[in-house]
């Protein structure tokens, strides 16, 4: 082989090695890019933290403290979501929903008021009972009138407040009074349980028949008196996603939190009992 031929062969060998190195580098870069793309897709894939927007929850007034706490926990879990509550008497909330009020979730204090919504075909599915609640007598701190039973509320010298009969706490109170074969004429019927309790807190009434949960939430502002007839007037609380929910995905997630072990813990600590 001539000197010229040997030089040409060496040049071709070097060139071939360089090309192979370039191809290997290119393949590595392509692999890295694909890996990065896959990683990016994975990190942005759908997950619970992607829930966003406002969820409107219509809930019975007796759920105020526990649902407010759960709402804050939900927003911590889902930073892009916001929970807005409308607390009130279950009957008025149900009427609002059937009239077209924009809501995602309805939590009622009784199956009867929930039935108003299901009969109007406004529920997205079958409501589920998530807690129960029982009545208690709320008196002034220290129970100065010595109230020890439901019968004691029938005294002429006492100012007693009840929830309106159309509201679940009012219907339950009437059921308890019937079980005790008692008749009671209150100084006023209030639109929801919080309004009834507030009459005692403000010392505008001597006593009110409310839920155990509301007595507990009031702390030392009132004193609670249990009575056996309350066992005959326990209220089931159903919850449902609404058919025309503006933000159904977030609504479902909130209901899941309420029914989870975490949600049940918050509710039982507030005085509710498991279904």
Contact 240, 39 (CB under 8 A): no
pLDDT(43) > 80: no
Among 32-36, 41-45, 104-108, name the one with the lowest average pLDDT: 41-45
Among 33-37, 173-177, 259-263, name the one with the lowest average pLDDT: 33-37
What domains can be seen in the chain, in order of their start residue? Answer: 50-132+236-269 (3.40.190.10), 135-232 (3.40.190.10)
Query: Cα dist. 258→69, 78, 114, 129, 143 in Å?
Result: 11, 15, 17, 11, 35
pLDDT(258) > 70: yes
d(CA 92, CA 86): 11
Helix pair angle (168-179, 111-119), 10° resolution: 130
Average pLDDT over residues 45-59: 79
Among 46-50, 82-86, 151-155, 233-237, name the one with the lowest average pLDDT: 46-50
Contact 138, 193 (CB under 8 A): no
Average pLDDT over residues 248-254: 98
pLDDT(175) > 70: yes
Query: Cα dist. 141→68, 196, 256 in Å?
Result: 26, 16, 38
Of the candidates 146, 185, 169, 145, the one whose C-alpha atom is nearest the C-alpha of residue 235 is 169
Q: Which residue has the tokens 């009239």?
A: 99
**3-class secondary-structure state, position 249:** helix
The residues pairing with 58 across neighbouring beta strands, listed in sequence order, are 86, 106
Q: How confident is the model at residue 49 (pLDDT cuts 50, 70, 90)?
A: low
Q: What is the pLDDT of residues 198-241, one digit of tens each?
A: 999 999 999 999 999 999 999 999 999 999 999 999 999 999 99
- Residue 217's φ and ψ, nearest 5 degrees, are -65, -30
Average pLDDT over residues 33-46: 36
Percent residues over pLDDT 90 in the chain: 81
Percent residues over pLDDT 70 in the chain: 82
Q: What is the pLDDT of residues 75-94, one digit of tens each?
A: 999 999 999 999 999 999 99
Among 9-13, 193-197, 217-221, name the one with the lowest average pLDDT: 9-13
Length of the chain: 275
Range list of β-strands (E), 26-179: 53-60, 81-88, 105-107, 128-133, 135-139, 160-163
Torsion of CA 179, 184, 186, 190, to 10 degrees: 20
For 187-229, give the DSSP string: SEEESSHHHHHHHHHTTS-SEEEEEHHHHHHHGGGSEEE--GG
Q: Is 53 left (phi over 0), alpha (psi -120 to 50) or beta?
A: left
**3-class secondary-structure state, position 181:** coil
């Amino acid at each position: 082989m001539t000197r010229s031929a040997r030089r040409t062969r060496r040049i071709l060998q070097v060139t071939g090695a360089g090309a192979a190195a370039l191809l290997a580098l290119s393949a590595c870069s392509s692999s890295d890019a694909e890996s990065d793309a896959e990683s990016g897709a994975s990190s942005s894939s759908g997950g619970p933290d992607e829930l966003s927007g406002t969820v409107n929850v219509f809930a019975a007034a007796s759920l105020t403290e526990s649902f407010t706490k759960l709402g804050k926990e939900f927003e911590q879990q889902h930073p892009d979501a916001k929970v807005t509550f409308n607390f009130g008497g279950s009957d008025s909330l149900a009427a609002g929903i059937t009239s077209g009020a924009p809501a995602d979730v309805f939590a009622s204090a009784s199956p009867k008021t929930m039935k108003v919504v299901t009969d109007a075909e406004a529920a997205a599915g079958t409501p589920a009972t998530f807690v129960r609640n029982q009545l208690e007598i709320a008196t002034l701190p220290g129970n100065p009138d010595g109230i020890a039973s439901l019968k004691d509320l029938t005294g002429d010298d006492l100012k007693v407040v009840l929830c309106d009969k159309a509201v679940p706490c009012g219907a339950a109170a009437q059921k308890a009074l019937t079980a005790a074969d008692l008749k009671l004429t209150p100084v006023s019927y209030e639109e929801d349980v919080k309004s009834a309790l507030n009459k005692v807190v403000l010392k505008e009434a001597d006593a009110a028949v409310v839920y155990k949960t509301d007595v507990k939430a009031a702390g030392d502002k009132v004193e609670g008196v249990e009575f056996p007839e309350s066992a005959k007037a326990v209220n089931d609380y159903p919850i449902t996603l609404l058919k025309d929910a503006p933000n159904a995905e977030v609504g479902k997630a909130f209901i899941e939190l309420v029914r989870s072990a975490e949600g049940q813990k918050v509710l039982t600590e507030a005085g509710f009992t498991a279904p």
